[in-house]
Amino acid sequence: MHTSTTHHIRLVETCHKRNKKFAPGVNDAEKNSLYAHTRFLSVAAAKEKMLELLADQRCPHGSKAPVLILGHGLNQDMGKLKAQWGLRLNGIESVVHIFASVAKLAR
């Protein structure tokens, strides 16, 4: 792999909600992201950005760039993306692998 990019996007419509059960004491997730600068986008803008990031990336020679998706507990998120946005991550040609649980990679 020659390059990689990381994105942390929060939805304006739901950014006031906090995961107090699994992330107690984490009040400012946008300030505590370990992976990337946080961007706040509307649901519509986030969907557009996701499609751009997943399907429209190009290698220097012009071919589609392969995309690996890494996350924690992605199965629920993938279900919501499919149900609410009609977006099937495993149906995007450039997505070559989805690691639904980063914790499993460490084993």
Burial of 33 (0-12, 13-18, 19+ CB in 10 A): middle
DSSP 89: G
pLDDT value at residue 26: 57
- How many angstroms separate the CA atoms of 5 and 3, rounded? 7
pLDDT, tens digit (0-9, with 9 covering 90-100), for 1-57:
567 778 888 889 987 777 667 665 655 655 666 677 888 999 999 999 988 888 888
Q: pTM value?
A: 0.69
57 with 64: CB under 8 angstroms?
A: yes
pLDDT digits (tens, 9 = 90+) for 54-96: 888 888 888 888 888 887 778 888 898 899 888 898 888 888 8
CB atoms within 10 A of CB 78: 18
Q: What is the separation of C-alpha 50 from the centre of its chain, rounded to a whole number of angstroms?
A: 7
